[in-house]
C-alpha cells in the first residue's frame, strides 16, 4: 500500500506551524500467520496546540482506468465516513484505475469529536473568510478535486435519521439525511469535460448505487434513497459544499450519508457498499482483505495498529490495548517523536500524559517515565520456543509457550509483570505466560507483555512478547531497517 507521504508530508503530525517536513519514513514488517503484512510507519513530532494535516493515500493499480477521489472526515463527528475511508486506504487493493483517499480531511475536529472546531468545513468551498484557520486545508483539497485526472469524487458523511421523499415520521422525512446518496442536480452541466463518463448523469449513477446497496441491506428499513438538493436552483447552504464546488469545476461528485442512528461499524458497512458500487460503475477493479460484515469491519478497523516511539525503541501495540499504560520509557529532554501505522491514529499531549487516538476514540493514555536513552544496543538475543532469535527493539515476538532473554553484560533486563523471580535482572530465565501477573499486559486479554533493557539507569529499548494463540510459532515484528548502522546485537 502506498501511504502517499511523499506527496503529503504533513500527515498525522503535530507541527509548529512553520515546518511541515516529514522527519523520516520507516518500514515495519509484520510476520503474520500466513505471510507478510507490510506496514509503513511515519515519524512525527509532538508539539502542543498545532494543527493536524490530512493525509493522502494513492491506491494506484498502474493499470488504465478511472480515478476516484474518496474524502472522509470533512466533519469530525461522523466516524462512519472517516473509518470507511481509512479502511479503503489500509485494506483495499486497486486492480485497475486509481483511488485517491483522504480519510481525515478535518483531522483536528476528528480528534476533538467535533463537527468542526472552526465551524462547518463543508460550508467553506464557496467563499472563505479572511484568515480562516482552515484555508490551507481547503486550498489543498480544492486543488485535488480540480486535478484533471480525477473523474469522480465521493464525500462521505454520517447523516441524521433516514431520508425519505415524503414525511413518514420524525426520523424519516425529507429533512433527514441518513441512508441517502446526495446529488446537487440530475445531470452534469454542459461545460463538463467528463460528459462521456458513466457519471455525467448523476441521478442515474446515484440510483444505481442505491439499488446496489439495497440488495445487501441488513434490514429492509435501512433502505437507501437518492436525495437531490437542487443546489443550483437557490439552495444557498448546499452551494457552499465540497460536492457543489466539484460540480462547478465539471467534476461529478456525490455525497454518501450513512445514518447516525447506527453504530460506527454499520455506518461503515453502508459506506463501503456505496463506494464499491461507485468503483464498479467507474470500472475500477478492487480487492478487499476482510469480509464485508459488521464483525469483519470492527476487526479490520483495529487490526495490527501500533505506535512506535523513541526512534523505534518503544512499540505500543494498540489493538485491544489497555485504557492506560504506565511507565512508558520516553526520552528525557527531547521532543516526542512518534510513528503510527494507521491514518486515523495520532498522539496528543495532555499535560502529564499522552492520549493515543484512533479517529475520535481515545485508545489509551500513555503515562511516561522519562529516561536518558542508551544507544549502544539495537536489540537482544532471545530463545523463543527453543529457537534462538535476534530481535530488534521495537518488535513484537510471537511466543507459543516460553521464551528466555539471553544475558547481556552490564545490562539489566526487566520483564514487566514477570512475577516468578525477584531478581533485578531477569535475563536467563525461562518465562511462560503463567509466570506473568496479567494486569501488567499491554493488551486487555493479558497476552502481550513488555521486555525492557536498561544500562546503568539508561533505557535501551523494549520488545513485546505476544502469547496470543494462532499467531504461529515464530511471529515477530521486525523493524525492517537498521538506522543504528554498525551497532548491532550483543551476540
Q: Which residues bind Zn ion (CB under 5 A)?
A: 75, 78, 157
**CB nearer Zn ion, residue 269 or residue 371:** 269
**CB nearer Zn ion, residue 231 or residue 471:** 231
Minimum CB distance to Zn ion, residue 157 (Å): 3
**CB nearer Zn ion, residue 75 or residue 180:** 75
Which helix (H) or strand (E) is 60 found in, with range?
strand 57-60
- Paired with 11 in beta bridges are 53
**CB nearer Zn ion, residue 55 or residue 75:** 75
Minimum CB distance to Zn ion, residue 212 (Å): 22
- Which triple of cell numbers denotes residue 101? 483517499
Minimum CB distance to Zn ion, residue 255 (Å): 8
In the block, residue with C-alpha cell 516526542: 336
Minimum CB distance to Zn ion, residue 270 (Å): 14
**CB nearer Zn ion, residue 163 or residue 454:** 163
**CB nearer Zn ion, residue 75 or residue 360:** 75
The DSSP 8-state label assigned to residue 240 in this structure reads G
Minimum CB distance to Zn ion, residue 68 (Å): 19
**CB nearer Zn ion, residue 75 or residue 427:** 75
CA distance 308 to 310: 7
CA distance 301 to 287: 16
Q: Where are the beta strands (DSSP E) in 332-386?
A: 337-340, 345-350, 353-358, 361-371, 379-384
Minimum CB distance to Zn ion, residue 293 (Å): 25
**CB nearer Zn ion, residue 134 or residue 466:** 134
CA distance 343 to 57: 9
Minimum CB distance to Zn ion, residue 237 (Å): 12
Question: Could you give the C-alpha distances from 19 to 10, 45, 55, 135, in angstroms and in order?
Answer: 9, 11, 16, 17
**Cα 300 to chain center, whole Å?**
11
* C-beta of residue 124 within 8 angstroms of C-beta of residue 140: no
- Closest-by-Cβ residue to Zn ion is 157
Minimum CB distance to Zn ion, residue 82 (Å): 10
CA-closest candidate to residue 280, choices 185, 152, 100, 156: 152
Helices (H), 114-263: 135-146, 202-214, 242-248
End-to-end CA distance of the chain: 35
Minimum CB distance to Zn ion, residue 262 (Å): 14
**CB nearer Zn ion, residue 72 or residue 343:** 72
- Which triple of cell numbers denotes residue 487? 551497532
Would you list the DSSP string of 94-119? Answer: ESSSEEEEES-TTHHHHHTT-S-BTB
Contacts of 473 (CB under 8 A, 6+ apart): 385, 387, 398, 400
CA distance 274 to 49: 36
Amino acid at each position: 500500500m502506498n501511504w502517499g507521504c511523499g506527496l503529503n508530508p504533513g500527515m498525522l503530525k503535530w507541527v509548529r506551524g512553520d515546518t511541515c517536513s516529514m522527519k523520516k519514513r520507516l518500514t515495519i514488517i509484520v510476520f503474520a500467520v500466513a505471510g507478510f503484512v507490510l506496514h509503513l510507519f511515519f515519524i512525527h513530532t509532538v508539539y502542543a496546540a498545532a494543527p493536524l494535516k490530512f493525509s493522502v493515500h494513492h491506491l494506484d493499480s498502474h493499470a488504465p482506468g478511472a480515478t476516484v477521489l474518496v474524502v472522509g472526515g470533512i466533519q469530525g463527528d461522523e466516524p462512519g465516513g472517516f473509518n470507511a475511508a481509512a479502511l479503503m486506504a489500509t485494506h483495499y487493493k486497486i486492480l485497475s484505475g486509481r483511488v485517491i483517499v483522504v480519510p481525515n480531511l478535518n483531522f483536528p475536529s476528528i480528534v476533538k469529536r467535533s463537527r468542526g472546531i472552526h465551524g462547518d468545513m463543508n460550508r467553506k468551498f464557496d467563499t472563505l473568510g479572511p484568515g480562516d484557520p482552515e484555508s490551507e486545508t481547503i486550498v489543498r483539497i480544492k486543488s485535488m478535486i480540480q486535478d484533471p485526472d480525477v473523474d469522480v469524487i465521493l464525500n462521505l458523511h454520517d447523516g441524521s435519521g433516514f431520508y425519505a421523499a415524503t414525511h413518514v415520521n420524525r426520523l424519516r422525512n425529507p429533512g433527514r439525511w441518513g441512508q441517502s446518496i446526495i446529488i446537487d442536480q440530475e445531470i452534469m452541466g454542459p461545460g463538463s469535460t467528463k460528459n462521456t463518463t458513466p457519471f455525467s448523469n448523476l441521478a442515474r449513477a446515484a440510483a444505481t448505487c442505491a439499488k446496489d446497496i439495497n440488495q445487501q441491506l441488513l434490514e429492509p428499513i435501512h433502505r437507501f434513497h437518492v436525495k437531490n438538493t437542487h443546489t443550483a436552483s437557490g439552495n444557498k447552504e448546499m452551494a457552499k459544499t465540497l460536492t457543489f464546488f466539484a460540480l462547478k469545476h465539471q467534476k461529478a461528485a456525490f455525497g454518501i450519508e450513512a445514518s447516525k442512528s447506527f453504530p460506527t461499524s454499520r455506518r461503515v458497512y453502508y459506506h463501503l457498499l456505496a463506494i464499491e458500487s461507485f468503483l464498479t460503475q467507474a470500472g475500477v477493479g478492487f480487492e478487499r482483505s476482510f469480509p464485508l460484515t459488521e464483525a469483519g469491519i470492527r476487526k479490520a478497523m483495529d487490526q495490527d495498529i501500533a505506535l512506535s516511539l523513541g526512534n523505534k525503541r518503544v512499540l505500543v501495540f494498540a489493538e485491544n490495548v489497555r485504557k492506560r499504560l504506565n511507565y512508558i520509557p520516553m526520552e528525557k529532554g527531547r521532543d516526542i517523536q512518534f510513528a503510527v501505522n494507521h491514518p486515523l491514529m495520532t498522539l496528543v499531549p495532555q499535560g502529564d500524559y499522552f492520549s493515543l487516538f484512533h479517529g475520535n476514540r481515545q485508545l489509551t493514555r500513555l503515562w511516561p517515565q522519562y529516561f536518558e536513552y542508551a544507544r549502544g544496543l539495537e536489540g537482544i538475543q532471545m530463545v523463543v520456543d527453543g529457537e534462538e532469535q535476534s530481535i530488534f527493539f521495537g518488535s513484537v515476538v510471537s511466543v507459543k509457550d516460553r521464551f528466555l532473554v539471553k544475558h547481556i553484560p552490564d545490562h539489566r533486563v526487566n520483564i514487566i509483570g514477570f512475577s516468578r523471580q525477584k531478581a533485578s535482572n531477569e535475563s536467563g530465565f525461562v518465562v511462560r505466560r503463567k509466570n506473568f501477573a496479567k494486569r501488567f499486559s499491554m493488551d486487555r486479554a493479558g497476552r502481550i507483555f513488555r521486555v525492557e533493557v536498561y544500562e546503568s539507569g539508561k533505557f535501551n529499548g523494549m520488545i513485546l512478547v505476544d502469547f496470543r494463540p494462532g499467531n504461529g510459532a515464530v511471529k515477530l515484528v521486525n523493524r525492517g531497517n537498521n538506522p543504528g548502522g554498525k551497532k548491532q546485537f550483543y551476540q
